[in-house]
Each structure stands twice: as C-alpha cells, then as structure tokens.
Amino acid sequence: MKQLPRTLRRSGRLGRYALLLSLVIHSVAADEPAAPLQKQKGTEHAVRTTEPFTIAVLPDTQYYCDIRHKLSAKWGNGDLRRYFFAQTKWVRDNQKRLNIAFLVHEGDIVQGDVPEEWAIAKEAMSVLDGKVRYCMCLGNHDMGYQKADNKYGFNIAVNRTTLFNQYFPREKFAKRQEFGGTFDPDRHDNSWYHFEEAGLKFLIVALEYLPRDEVLDWANRIVAEHPDHRAIVLTHAYLKKNKTRTTGRRKLKGNNGEQMWQKFVSKHKNVFMVLCGHFSGEAVLTSTGDHGNPVHQILSDYQEMNNGGESWLRYMVFKPESNKISIHTYNPALDKFRNGPSSRFDLDYSMTLFPKGRAANALDKTRENK
C-alpha cells in the first residue's frame, strides 16, 4: 500500500493529538461549575407562580372558651369549645386543597383572662402546629381581667396584664421560620411575621388592643424596614359595622382605629390590608393611603350569632393571575357558606412583583435615615 507523504502523516498525528487534547479539556470542564448567566438589566424579578393561595381568618372565639362565667349559656349550652376545634381542624385538613399559607386570629381569643379558658385556646390552636403558620393579636377580653359585682361578674381590659404569654409564649414562636420579632423581647403581645407565596413577600404586624404610641412607633419601623414586603395589619378593634374607623377614648390608654390610620396605617405604601374583629358584623372600607395606595380594611365578627358564632370564619383566596382577592365566609361545623354581598366579595389588589433592585435601594435609604 502506498504511504502518504510525510507532511500528511505528521498532520494526521497532530490532528489525533489535538482531538485527544480537546477531549481531555472537555472532560475537565464538565467537572467545573457553570458560570452564572448574566441577567439583563431591568429584568431582576423574584421567581413567581400564578397559583392561588389562601389566608384564613379566625374572628372572636371568646364564647367558645367561656367556661368560667358561662355567658354562652344563653344559647342553652355553656360549653361551646367544639366550634373552636371545628375551625382549626377544618383549616388544617384543607391546607393543601386551598393552599393555606397563613392563619390569623383577630383577638378576643377568650372570654376572660383566666387559666381554664386559655387552656382551651391553646389546645384548639395547637391543632395547627407544624401544619399551618399562624399568629394572633390580643383583644380587650384577653387582658386585664378583674372580678366585679356586675351582671357579668367581671371586668375586662382594666390593664394590660395577660396570661396570653404563658399559653402562647414568645419562645415557642421564635423558633419558627416565619417569626420576625416582637415589640417587647420577653412578651408576645405585639409581634410580626413574614412568609412568601407565589414569589410575593408578605409581612403581618399583629398589634394589641388599643396599641400604645410606642407600639405604633415600633410597627412603623418594622414596615419601613421591609418595603419589598406587602404588609397586613392585624388588630382587634379598628373598624365598625357602619364602615367607619373607631374614635373616642377608652379607660385603657391607647390608640383607636382613626388614630392608628393617621399615625401608622396610612403612612406606608406597602400596607394594603387591615383585619379586625370586636364589633359583631361585617364591613369593608377601602381608603387611600398617603402614597396613593388602596388599603382594604375588613371587619369580621360573628360572636352574636347563634352559639357565639357557631364556627363561622373567613378565608381569603389571593389570585395573582387576575389581581383579585376573593373573600369567603364559611361555617365548618354546619358546612355552609354565607353568600350575601358583605360575606362573599372580591377585592382588587395588584400582585405585580416589586423589582428587587428598587426594594433593596428603598431599604438602604430607610436605614440611612434612621
């Protein structure tokens, strides 16, 4: 067989060497981590989905725990705790179906600030532990209990002492990923929580009944330090059934609903909702904050219905794709809905993402001004 010219034989060997070398280089490169992709300017958004998610709302549960003075006996049965358990068990059992991201309790957890009633509340709420994230705010029935010679046999909210911290201690909740902090490092009375769903960051500030000025100062700071979070204010007495915020003074010194709006709620662009109870009934008031942002203020309270509410609760379905929040009023004990215009309605709420850069810059400016 005729041999190839020497130059071609050399080039063939060089080609084989080059091929071998390229294979070695490719093998080494395969073990190296890939270089990060460069993001285009202006496209830095959080990862998101359009899957709906839900926030559950427990209104006043005071009659369900009312076993000392038994004011609930007017309905013929002085022990209504089954309705509290019906609520929390239903939320737990429907967490996956409704994608329940969080539950809030609007206060008046118990009828009187006494151990046997807090024990019921603790047991009922513990149904959610490890299953559904939750937080609670204090109502007037949850503090300042004092025996009295009146038709009820006791007074409430004569001061801010409460057994809440023994049954729902700060240290228990501080271990949870969603826990943000508290106003008082040793108490759970005023707290804030955070979570993320559908690529959207949320913050919940839970405030005491008639929050004091120093508590509102703290709440202002928390919300200002998290401009990339959509903020919900949870407090007990804020909005009345006639769709007006509370005014006037109470024996316990603190801020009413209108003062809370002026000093705190209206001041932040990222506050979009206030949830409250206290006044029996339903109401919605949408007001415009100082930055032109709509703030939906929602009253939910069913304590004067049969059996102290008979387990009526609310759940709010957030729908990022349509920028709607659907409000549902449901009774798990009776398995039925309330469908009147004040019970079943939709709220407009833009769930367009905040650009990461803008939020970070706003946070830096907030810190610089402190």
Is the pLDDT confidence value at 17 over 90? no
| Beta strand ranges found along 165-241 (DSSP E) | 179-182, 191-197, 200-206, 230-234
CA atoms within 13 A on the CB side of 120: 24
Q: Are strands 345-348 and 146-147 parallel, antiparallel or unpaired?
A: unpaired
**Dihedral (Cα; 195, 214, 262, 105), 10-degree rounding:** 40
Beta pairing partners, 316? 55, 327
Segment among 18-27, 89-98, 107-116, 172-181 with least mean pLDDT:
18-27
**How far is it, in rounded angstroms, from Cα 358 to Cα 370?**
19
Q: Where do the domains of the chain lie, and which CATH numbers do they carry?
A: 53-368 (3.60.21.10)
- d(CA 114, CA 163) in angstroms, rounded, equals 7
d(CA 280, CA 251): 21
Asked if residue 24 has pLDDT above 80, the reply is no
**173, pLDDT greater than 50:** yes
Average pLDDT over residues 299-306: 97
Rounded Cα gap, residues 266 and 350, in angstroms: 18
Query: Is residue 363 pLDDT above 90, yes or no?
Result: no
Instruction: Take residue 42 and report the two structure tokens written for it.
Output: 């202006």
Please give the pLDDT value at position 249.
Answer: 87
Q: Is the pLDDT of residue 181 over 60?
A: yes
**Amino acid found at 72:** S
Question: Which tens digit of pLDDT belongs to each residue from 48-68?
Answer: 678 999 999 999 999 999 999
- Whole-angstrom distance, CA of residue 27 vs CA of residue 276: 63
114-117, long-range: CB < 8 A, 24+ apart: 114/68, 114/145, 114/163, 115/163, 116/67, 116/68, 117/65, 117/66, 117/67, 117/68
Q: Identify the pLDDT of residue 76.
A: 79
Task: Enter the pTM of the model.
Answer: 0.84
- Residue 48 has a pLDDT of 61
- Residue 320 in 3-state DSSP? coil
Using only C-alpha atoms, the chain has a radius of gyration, in whole angstroms, of 28
Confidence of residue 352 (pLDDT cuts 50, 70, 90): confident
Residue 370 has pLDDT above 50, yes or no: no
Taking only the tens place, the pLDDT of each residue in 98-138 is 999 999 999 999 999 999 999 999 999 999 999 999 999 99
**What is the reported pLDDT for 50?**
85
Which candidate, 336, 367, 363, places its Cα nearest to that of 86? 336
Contact in structure between 135 and 164 (CB atoms under 8 Å): no
- Compute the distance between CA of residue 316 and CA of residue 318 in angstroms, rounded to an integer: 6
Checking if the pLDDT of 21 tops 60, the result is no
- DSSP structure class, residue 187: -
Query: Could you tell me the sign of the dihedral formed by the alpha carbons of 210, 215, 221, 227, in that order?
Result: negative
Q: What is the C-alpha separation between 144 and 162, in angstroms, rounded?
A: 6
Tell which wins on pLDDT, 12 or 114: 114
